[in-house]
Structure 1
Amino acid sequence: MIRTVVLDVGETLIHDDRYWAGWADWLDVPRHTLSALVGAVVVDGRDNADALRLLRPGIDVGAEYRDVFPAAAVGLMTAHLRRGPWGHWWADDETVQQVADYSVDSLLDLPGLVDPGWRGGGQG
């Protein structure tokens, strides 16, 4: 049996420019436009998500950004990673807890979920 771990952890592991580019694409606005708005709201001391609210007033940013739901919807097993701002933000959300098959604090927890015999630390 082949076992794999697929991660979609957004800004936790990668630069957040991809995160904002995804929002721009989803909102159907040029990426540089959203980038400029993010810079403007941050300089103004506001939440960077206000850039999204300028483009789509009333948007529920949190409801639109929950990675475990699309994965679970297509039958993948999911793990909610409590890491980075979004990971901790959603850690206690009841719907995330119901959908996620696992909730982990570290990427090092994932191999043990895929292969219970995994001992880590380079041991084989």
Structure 2
Amino acid sequence: MVTEGEVIERDVKAVVFDVGETLIDETRIWERWADRLGVTRLTFLGLIGACAATDQEVPAAFELVRPGLDVAAEEDAWAAQDPGGLRNGFDADDLYPDVRPALAALKQQGLRLVIAGNQPPRALAALRAMDLPVDEIRNSAELGCEKPSPEFFAAVADLAGVRPEQIAYVGDRTDNDVLPAADAGMMPVLIRRGPWGHLHAARPDAQRATIIDSLLELPELL
């Protein structure tokens, strides 16, 4: 883990946040998908947890529930049937309760704040509508690259406007978030929540990161 002395030495000037299970509680999204697919919510949430435990991505859960499902086509059909609903999206009610106070405290400390993740355009619009106290909100489509590619973290550094070693990157996964951020020279912070966060925090390679249980730990940490 990063020690307190090392954090001070790095002179962090910007914090970049992942989205899903870092800022946004995705529970309601997966519950609505379970209802849509005709399985119990426990079943679908359990399968997502199984994907996290076996290093598979979420599409594997859809394949287990309904083999051969065209998820994009299902999303289009869902949008046509329920154009005004949240469906597989989120809104301000899905923010974790520590998000706004933590961002406000970090902003008071004079840190530049950026939200950047692998998110579709609809999610980007939802985040921008929340009036969060941040300087930039971008998604992978706008940046032209996705996590965990080095290009994504280089683009994030450009958004932050400071050197990579002056950036703390906060996410819930070692593979997509904190390890590639560390490789890019950033300070990696792993938040232990959501299925990936809890599982990945127990892995040996998570020791390269500072592990937190709440975003409210960040103001003192930085």
Relative to its length, the structure with more strand (as a share) is: 2
| TM-score normalised to structure 2 length | 0.28
TM-score by length of 1: 0.47
